[in-house]
Structure formats: structure tokens, C-alpha cells
Structure 1
Amino acid sequence: MGMEDHKLKVFCTVAETKSFSKTSEIIHLTQPAVSLQIQALEEIYETKLFDRSSSFINLTPAGEILYKYAKDILNLYAEAEKEIGKITGLIKGSITIGASTTIGNYVLPSVIADFKKNHPKIKINVFIGNTKRIIDLLNSGGIDIGLVEGETSRHKIKTDPIITDELVFIIPPFHHWAKKKVVSILEITKEPFILREEGSGTRQMIEKYLSEHGINTSDMRIALVLGSTESIKEAVENGMGISIVSKWAARKEIKYGSLRLITPKEEKILRNFSLVMQKNSVLSHAVDEFLAYLKSYPYDTLLSERQ
């Protein structure tokens, strides 16, 4: 990317986020640097591109015109790079992925490690945040693609389920259920239970499943509410209660025997991990390669690894 298109990228990001602070976060520049890039463009065109009089930053009529062309110009740059990459056969460039917590921590690292073996020249950056944060980053162009758990109902976004996730009971090996393979979900009210914080995708999923079986969290013996899956596993290993987590999240502990896994007798708690993209974005050659890889990856082999 040359200097000019970098300025345009900064400009488009401010136009879309309507915020200098959000732009500086997405593009990794300080706020004064963002302001300088915009000023430089305003000097080139000898006119104001943003109206800063209200509390929101809005495009001026001149800004509107530049925005329309800037999007096309950036897309053309991306296409040119892609075409050249096809001839040289060298796939390089960088990919920025946003991933919600379960995927980002427990699925993506293995997939990226395998991908890098075949494409050592591609740089990969990963942002991890909850699903809402990932959708925000996608909308503002801060990431190329997102991987999220749970529901996303956004008209501007293309959603593609790629991996199935199953939520399971985790218990310590010395728990009185330890000899069982399945347990009725109704038994859950008798055990101290450890829950994720409000706003977690996993928690929403658990609450939905429980309410379908007539159980409200107020009927349960909530021992702890913790802000991460890691801290929940730790608490369960220490006998502070039982919990429900993604099978992906517990795969190491199950393998080494520090946790046991049990499925509810009623029916499995299933959800999808989905790929999210902006509807009409032009993707770089590198992103295309990674997408093809993601879609054909044998995820089941990761879960069934026994050493």
C-alpha cells in the first residue's frame, strides 16, 4: 500500500465510524496522526471533508464525493494486488481476523499454525473479543473476516456456519457423577454451578437450553460467576462446582484427565461457529486462500486427538 491509499483508508474509516478515536484503534495510529492524515487530504482538495460542528463527525458534500471514489479506488488497489499475486505465484500480504473468545482461544491457533506451514509469507493478525465487538470491527473495516459463536442477525453481513460446537458438562474426576456418561439436565439444580458473566455467548446458549427444560437460573445453586472459561475450568478442577462449556474449550483438560466430560441425557447442546464477512468486500488473494483453508479444514481431528 502506498502513502496515498493509506490516507484514503484512514479517511474511509473515519467516515464509517464517525469517530477519530475508533479510527485510531482500528488503524493503529494515534489520534493526532489520524487528524494529520485527514488534514493532509483537506489540503490536497482545498476544502473541508468533515463537518465537526455537531457532536458527530459528518461528511461534507465534498467528503461524500471523495468517499464514493475512495471506496472504489481501494477496491481497485486490492484487485490489482490480487492479479499481480496470481502471476508471481507468491501469496503474501496480511490477513486480519476477528474471533470471538471460544474460537479465538481454542480453535483458531491450531488452524493458523497448520495454514502457516503452507503459506509462510502470509502475516496473520488476530483480534479476540466477544461476538458484538467482532461485528463492530467488521463493520468498520478493522478486520477482513470474523469468526463468531452464537447468533448474528445483521443485513449487511454474510454469515456462513463452518464448525459445529457442542456444550458439555464439566466435572472434576472425583465428582460423584464421574462414573456416568450422561446425566439428566434436571440434576443440575442439585449441584453448585459456575456460570459465565452476562453478555457471554456461551451463557446465553446455556440459559436458552435450560429454559427449554423449564429451569431458570434462579432455581440453581450458583456458586460463582466468572468472566472467562479458563477461570471456570480452574474452579471446576478445584471442586468448587460443575459447569457447562464448549467441548473445544475443555479438550486439553479432558485429554490429561483433570476434567471429565458428561453430556446431558435430554439432547445435545449444539451451536454453530460462523464465518462473517461484509457482503460486498473485495478480498485479497491471501484472504481468499485462508477462507478456502478454513472451509475445508478437518476440525474433528482436533477434538479426537489422543496422545
Structure 2
Amino acid sequence: MPLSPHVPDLGALELLLDVVATGSIGAAGRVHGITQQAASARLRALEQRAGVALLDRRARGTRLTEAGTAFAAWATRVVEAAHDLDAGLAALRHQGTARLRLAASMTVAEHLVPGWLAALRARDRADPVQVTLTATNSAAVAQLVRDGAVDLGLVEGPEPLADLSRRVVGTDRLVLVVAPDHPWAARRSVSAAVLARTPLVTREVGSGTRHALEQALASAGASPSAVPTMELSTATAVRESVRAGLGPAVLSRLAVAADLREQRLVEVPVAGVDLARELRAVWTGPAHSPPAGPARDLVAIAARSQPETRL
């Protein structure tokens, strides 16, 4: 039986759901690569076709009407089913082998992704997913996602990434670490101002860890002013440099947990600075849902394991 002429197209449903996810028509339009005016016109056409008012447009943002709330719930199921259909067809075109092109920041790739992929493989043991993983800094991960080179990115740090859809999948905490014989090892804490003017062993520009530290210090009124002692491309290299006595560093607790337990490094509290940060999955396309298939499954696995990442 043919559908009613009141049933809108999938693209319009996705646009409406992205208005809900982002809170504004302009932001939803950017997700779809169209102007705010074009997005607004498309949404008005959707309301005309549906025959009900779906959105309450206000100066401070756009909200769903009562009818729109019910409509959005139905639309979510329709869009998710369409994505599942798309993923199923893609699997058939590739002879049933699911593939996931993944990029992750160095910290996430080294310490979290292996466990998440193991859970994904255990879930799909009968038809294992083919995964390619690129480990690089957060800025490069975001660019790979924008370029369509990967299906999903996993990043750390406070960068807003307004042009990408995103979901928080966990939290992490940065810690200031020194070698056991460093003068700071005996201190009860270090102030934000002292840390900001101290040359550190750091990750390279573009690293989520470095950006998170700079933002945290700036929020505490102490923007970094010292030239780094060294700039290195991996957390492992930074950690080993600190152990060798080349200077303090601020790293993810994930990267130094074993060294702290074995007392190869000493954590020094930083007074008045919030060093917690979010770990996020990023992708292109609808903001309300990651790409269907293995990418969506991996995001769900990561989000379920979130308590283990709160260190």
C-alpha cells in the first residue's frame, strides 16, 4: 500500500532531528552543508507536508512543539532503520564483510581502543569486523573525519569541533608528573602560575593533551608563557623523557598509571586547575546518531565503558 503524501523524505527527517540535537536551525544546516535560510525553508516545507507545526522558533533557539516531540520520536526510529538498511546494503556489496575505518588520538588509541575493539570482536565473533586504525593527534583525527578518510574519529581535549557531529564517550584526567628526584616531587602542590611559566616536556601542537592543558591553565588565569623544553609526538616519548629527568610533563593518567604505581614517576597536584577532559567520538553526518554499522556499535561500547575511563 502506498505511503500517504504527508510522509516526508528522509533528508527532511534527518534535518529536523539535527535541529533537536544541536538546538538551532543554523547549526543543523551546517551539519547538512546548507545555509540557515535553506534549512529553515526545508523545515517549513516539512511542516506543510506533515500538516502540523513541529517547531517553535524563538530568538534564543528553536524548540519542538508538543506535536513535534511525538513526531521526532517516530522520525528517530525511521531514520535509524534507514541507516541500518544502508549499512546492510553496504555489507552485501562488500560480500558480507563489515569494515570500520577508525582514527583515534594517541592516548585513546593506545589505552582504550584495544579494549573497545576486543568487545566489538566478541560481539560479532561470527562475522568479525575488518578494522583499520590510524593513531595520530586530535587535530589530525578531526581532519581525517572531515576529509572522509575515516568513518569515525575518537578525540580528546576541549576543541569545540562545531563542524563535526560528536558524542562524549568517556572522561579522562591529566596529571602533572616528575621524576622521583625532581625538586617538585616533595611538594604538596604547584600553583597554576608556576606551572604556566615552567618549561615542560610536551606533546606537539595539535595534541589534545597539550590543548587541554593550555585551556585549563587559561581558565585558571595562567596562560602558558614558557617555551617547552621538548616537543614530542607520543605520550610514550614524553613519559620516558620525564623519567630521564628532562623536566616535568602533564599527561593523561591513562599513560602514566603504571609508572605511578611502580613509583617511577611522582604525581604533583596542581592547585586550582581542573584537569578533567572529555573523550569524544566525532563523525560527519546527522548529529543525533553515529554512522550505522560497526561505527555505531563501537560508540555504544565506548560509552558503556565510560565509568572505567573516569580516573
Match of 2:172 among 158, 165, 176: 165
What one-letter code is carried by the residue in structure 1 that aligns with 2:282?
A: V
Q: Supply the AA of the counterpart residue of 1:289.
A: D
Q: Do 1:75 and 1:282's aligned partners in 2 also have CA atoms closer than 8 Å?
A: no
2:104 counterpart residue number: 99
The match for 1:144 is 151
- 1:81-92 matched pairs, under 5 angstroms: none
Checking the alignment, whether the CA contact within 8 Å between 2:84 and 2:292 is kept in structure 1 is: no
Judged with a 3 Å threshold, the aligned counterparts in structure 2 of structure 1 residues 116 and 299 are, in CA distance, closer, same or farther, namely farther
1:177 aligns with 2:184: yes
Pair 1:115-2:124 in alignment: no
Structure-2 change in CA distance of 1:210 and 1:144 (3 Å): same
Report the equivalent of 2:268. Answer: 262
> Is the aligned partner of 1:289 residue 2:297?
yes
CA contact (8 A) 2:203 2:234 kept: yes
Following the alignment from structure 1 to structure 2, what is the Cα–Cα distance between the partners of residues 272 and 207?
15
Number of matched residues? Answer: 222
1:77 deviation in Å?
Answer: 5.3
Give unpaired runs (5+ residues) of structure 2.
Answer: 1-82
For the residues of structure 2 that align with 1:193 and 1:282, how far apart are their CA atoms?
Answer: 37
Cα shift at 1:75: 9.0
Amino acid aligned to 1:171: V
% identical aligned pairs: 23
Q: Distance in 2 between matches of 1:173 and 1:212?
A: 29
* 2:239 matches 1:233: yes
Residues in 1 aligned to 2:249 and 2:301: alpha-carbon distance in whole angstroms: 33
CA 1:291–1:297 in structure 2 vs 1: closer, same or farther (change >3 Å)? same
Q: Distance in 1 between matches of 2:180 and 2:196?
A: 20
SS at match of 1:117: helix
Q: Label 1:253 to 1:114 Cα distance change in 2 as closer, same or farther (>3 A).
A: farther
Instruction: Tell me how far apart the structure 1 counterparts of residues 223 and 145 of structure 2 sit (CA, whole Å).
Output: 34
Q: In structure 1, what is the equivalent of residue 89 of structure 2?
A: 80
Are the aligned partners of 2:179 and 2:185 in contact in 1 as well (CA < 8 Å)?
Answer: yes
Q: 2: CA distance between counterparts of 1:189 and 1:286?
A: 42
**Counterpart amino acid of residue 109 in structure 2:** G
Q: How many Å separate the matches in 2 of 1:267 and 1:175?
A: 21
Q: Residue by residue, what CA displacement relative to the aligned partner does 1:147-170 show, whole Å, maximum 9, x if unpaired? A: 112314333x21111211211101
Q: 1:136 to 1:204 in 2, by over 3 A?
A: closer
Structure 2-normalised TM-score?
Answer: 0.61
Give distance in 2, aligned partners of 1:83 and 1:250.
43
TM normalised by structure 1 equals 0.61
Paired residue type of 1:200: S
Structure 1 unaligned regions, length at least 5:
1-73, 85-90
- Hey, what's the Cα distance between the residues in 1 that align with 2:254 and 2:235? 11
Label 1:162 to 1:103 Cα distance change in 2 as closer, same or farther (>3 A).
Answer: same
